[in-house]
Amino acid sequence: MKESIFVIFVIAMVTICFLINAPMVFGEPKMGVIVVDLQGDFTTYKNGSLAVEGTDEAFVNKVRKVTQELRAKGYPIFGTQDWHPADHISFYSNHAGKKPFEAIQIDGRTQVLWPPHCVQETENARVLVDNNLFLAIVKKGKDKKFDSYSGFQDDGGATTEMNQILQKTGIKELIVYGIATDYCVKATAIDAVAAGYKVTVIEGLSKGVAPDTTAKALEEMKAKGIIIKADLEM
């Protein structure tokens, strides 16, 4: 009799924990999280070659803490990671006579030239959030011929495995945050909506390259039906 009572107690406790922590309960849409490009080269914390203002140690630690808390609550965590070959087309150093942040025309498209960053197998290409928290980290920008702001596809239209992974995991809604608001966060969020996901971008967990382009990006995302929140209520 005592053993039966104990078994019932254990089952009840497990059920309660599931209901508290599970991001999908009673058929509600399952929500996942995409942490965009939180890599050394994009942060002042790591003296990155393409550091975005405001990405100091405090910001990185805030993103780490929130991501860990979300994982502890049962949310599937995914990441994107710029992963460029050294001869990538977006690096100004691969174009004679060009300077960082110049825009040039290549095959009918505008290409912004960046300082070399997130080169494959380098320390500052590493994702700064505990990699054990992620179900998957999708590498992008691997094709030297195309930039890749979005975690879903590059500028040449070649898709990553992101959508396939999300579908296999049963994700219907996404929380998106990271670096940079006006480039990779925006592109990832907009492509997620185009793929059929409901998307919320957390402004307080993201940083943009410039105030004007960041403000424009937030308006563009809102126009696509993306929810913008100042911070994430835990």
Whether residue 135 lies inside any domain: the answer is: yes
pLDDT at residue 9, rounded to an integer:
43
Q: What is the CATH number of the domain that holds 38?
A: 3.40.50.850
Catalytic residue among 37, 41, 182, 191: 37
Give the pair of three-digit tokens for residue 129.
């959030």
- Give the Cα separation of 75 and 167 in Å (integer): 15
Domain count, the chain: 1
Predicted TM-score (pTM) of the model is 0.88
Q: Is 218 helix (H, G, I), strand (E, B) or coil?
A: helix
- Give the Cα separation of 154 and 145 in Å (integer): 10
Q: Which residues of 125-151 are buried (b: 16+ CB within 10 A; e: fewer)?
A: bbbbbeeebbbbbbbbbbbeebbbbbb
* Nearest CA among 114, 104, 113, 98 for reference residue 50: 114
**Is 140 assigned a catalytic role?**
yes
Is the CB of residue 162 less than 8 Å from the CB of residue 134? no
* Nearest CA among 195, 142, 158 for reference residue 32: 195
pLDDT at residue 232, rounded to an integer:
87
Whether residue 146 lies inside any domain: the answer is: yes
Domain that holds residue 49: 34-88+119-229
**Is 118 assigned a catalytic role?**
no
**Is 184 assigned a catalytic role?**
yes
pLDDT at residue 234, rounded to an integer:
62
Instruction: Label residue 99 exposed, middle or buried (CB < 10 Å: 0-12, 13-18, 19+).
Output: exposed
| pLDDT in 10s for each residue of the chain, 234 residues | 544 444 344 344 433 343 334 444 334 559 999 999 999 999 999 999 999 999 999 999 999 999 999 999 999 999 999 999 999 999 999 999 999 999 999 999 999 999 999 999 999 999 999 999 999 999 999 999 999 999 999 999 999 999 999 999 999 999 999 999 999 999 999 999 999 999 999 999 999 999 999 999 999 999 999 999 999 876
CA distances from 25 to 29, 30, 48, 199, 212 (A): 8, 8, 41, 19, 40
Is the CB of residue 190 less than 8 Å from the CB of residue 179? no
198, β-bridge pairs: 173
Whether residue 112 lies inside any domain: the answer is: no
Catalytic residue among 154, 184, 186, 207: 184
Catalytic residue among 139, 140, 186, 207: 140
Instruction: Label residue 172 exposed, middle or buried (CB < 10 Å: 0-12, 13-18, 19+).
Output: middle
